[in-house]
Amino acid sequence: MIAGADDTDACTVWVADVAAERPFHSDLLDPDERGRRAALRRPADQARFTVAAAMIRLVAAGLTGTPPATIAVDRRCPGCGRAHGKPRLPGTGLEVSVSHSADRVLLAVTRAGPVGVDVERITDADTSTLAGRVLAPGEPVRRPRDFFVYWCRKESAVKATGDGLRVPLSEVVVRPADAPAGLLSYRGSRLTAAMADLDVGPGYAAAVTVLTGRPVRVWLRDAGTTLTE
Map out the domains of the chain with their CATH numbers.
10-224 (3.90.470.20)
Q: What is the pLDDT along the chain (229 residues), one digit of tens a residue?
A: 344 445 678 999 999 999 999 999 999 999 999 999 999 999 999 999 999 999 999 999 999 999 999 999 998 877 676 666 789 999 999 999 999 999 999 999 999 999 999 999 999 888 888 898 999 998 999 998 999 999 999 999 999 999 988 999 999 999 999 999 999 999 999 999 999 999 999 999 999 999 999 999 999 999 988 898 6
Pairing of strands 217-222, 95-101: unpaired
Please give the Cα distance from 170 to 147 (Å, whole number): 12
Residue 105 CA to chain centroid, in angstroms?
9
The answer to whether the CB of 167 falls within 8 A of the CB of 187 is: yes
Residue 159 parent element (H or E): helix 144-161
pTM assigned to the model? 0.93
Helix (H), strand (E) at residue 214 = none
CB 87 within 8 A of CB 107: no
- Angstrom distance (rounded) from CA 184 to CA 61: 35
